[in-house]
A = this chain, B = another copy of it.
Amino acid sequence: MIRRIGGHTIGFEEMPSITGYASVVGKRESEGPLGKGFDKVIYDSYDGQDTYEQAESRFQYEAVGKVLEKAGIRANEIDYIFAGDLLNQCTGSSFGLIDYDIPYLGQYGACSTMAQGLIMASVFVESGAASAAACVTSSHFCSAERQYRFPMEYGGVRTPTAQWTVTGSGCCILKNAKKGPCISRATVGRIASLGVKDANNMGAAMAPAAAQTLKDYFDDTSTKPNDYDLILTGDLREVGSKLLYELLKREGIDISSNHNDCGLMIYDRKKQDVHSGGSGCGCSGSVLCSKILNDMTSGRLNNILFAATGALMSPTTCSQGADIPSIAHLVNVKNR
């Protein structure tokens, strides 16, 4: 049973369990502070393929393969896979997953897609539509650079607020298993914009959406930030996180003491030249499906909010001078 809580939140009575998770990342991510927690490292940016786009598909393929292996199940035991990425027409997912032959539902929430996929999988499992559902996301530094910014060979100089797209993929399997980390509540975001137009400052563009969704959730559930061990955003990074604190403080909500951001966690920004930090569908996907779920499984974390943000623009809308609308979806993951 799913019940509506307040205006924007839903609660899952059975609480679908995350019965498997896996992450696959590139070389740079493996050299960061979370390096040891990833399940597989692919050192070749092309992963033996001809193009970066094909390589990104391989990352998704590998992440799903790894999660099936870790969970000890076969692809045909997964009833649905909710997948998404940042490539035009989401081809990272469609080409990456074709061989698994799993009923496929493409999701587009930009960098919020991992949270969106978790919500979808939870609703499908809780309602009986699926006995097992998976969600997966990916991004790739090289395919993102040439699609969103410049060809790799151009060597464009980056602004200080620019992000570094994570090369990686994360995948979860959800089942009604009544054990381990599970999805307790979820809030689907509304599209927000405060008029930011700078595509090299996505953190600022996405902060209003994160603030709105977190406020919706706290209002709906009558809980407060300190009720949670961790409030984890996707890729707001330094600028966006500060803006988020500021926007929420205006509403009387202070998350600064237990907030962290996947984009800030994945790289060592003093040693690794990644400017404002990590971003991309694969950022929150790979961090959730390594360090975070490892910590939940070990009991170091027991009750967290995972709120991934996405910038719903395209290079076309940016070059046409439009502002950057954004969204944040949230799930409350807690141990039984």
The chain A residues found within 8 Å of chain B, CB to CB, are 1-4, 8, 10, 50-51, 53-54, 79-80, 84, 86-91, 94-95, 97-98, 101-110, 116, 119-120, 123-124, 126-131, 147, 188-193, 312-317, 320, 322, 325, 327
Q: Is the CB of A188 within 8 A of B313?
A: no
Report the separation of the CA atoms of residues A64 and B317 in the bound assembly, to the nearest whole angstrom. 21
Most buried by B among A1, A50, A316: A316
Q: Is the CB of B322 within 8 A of A95?
A: yes
9 pairs, CB–CB < 8 Å, chain A vs chain B: A4-B128, A50-B320, A53-B316, A53-B320, A54-B322, A103-B188, A105-B188, A106-B109, A123-B129
Q: Is the CB of A317 within 8 A of B104?
A: no
Return chain B residues, CB-CB under 8 Å to A91: 312-314, 316-317
Report the separation of the CA atoms of residues A107 and B94 in the bound assembly, to the nearest whole angstrom. 13
Q: Is the CB of A108 within 8 A of B123?
A: no
Q: Is the CB of A79 within 8 A of B129?
A: no
Q: Is the CB of B88 within 8 A of A312?
A: no
Closest to A83 in B: B108
Copies in the complex: 2
Report the separation of the CA atoms of residues A232 and B93 in the bound assembly, to the nearest whole angstrom. 27
CB proximity of A225 to chain B, nearest CB, Å: 22
CB proximity of A302 to chain B, nearest CB, Å: 25
Q: Is the CB of B107 within 8 A of A108?
A: yes
Report the separation of the CA atoms of residues A51 and B322 in the bound assembly, to the nearest whole angstrom. 11
A4-B130, A88-B89, A104-B189 given; 17 more Cβ-contact pairs under 8 Å? A1-B127, A1-B128, A51-B320, A53-B317, A84-B108, A87-B316, A88-B88, A89-B313, A91-B312, A101-B191, A103-B188, A104-B327, A105-B188, A106-B116, A108-B108, A123-B129, A127-B127
Q: Is the CB of A312 within 8 A of B190?
A: no
Report the separation of the CA atoms of residues A91 and B323 in the bound assembly, to the nearest whole angstrom. 12
CB proximity of A58 to chain B, nearest CB, Å: 13
Most buried by B among A54, A87, A104, A327: A104
Contact of A2 among B4, B97, B127 (CB under 8 A): B127
Return chain B residues, CB-CB under 8 Å to A124: 123
CB proximity of A121 to chain B, nearest CB, Å: 11
Return chain B residues, CB-CB under 8 Å to A50: 320
Report the separation of the CA atoms of residues A188 and B189 in the bound assembly, to the nearest whole angstrom. 25
Return chain B residues, CB-CB under 8 Å to A8: 103
Contact of A89 among B127, B192, B314 (CB under 8 A): B314
Q: Is the CB of A10 within 8 A of B129?
A: yes
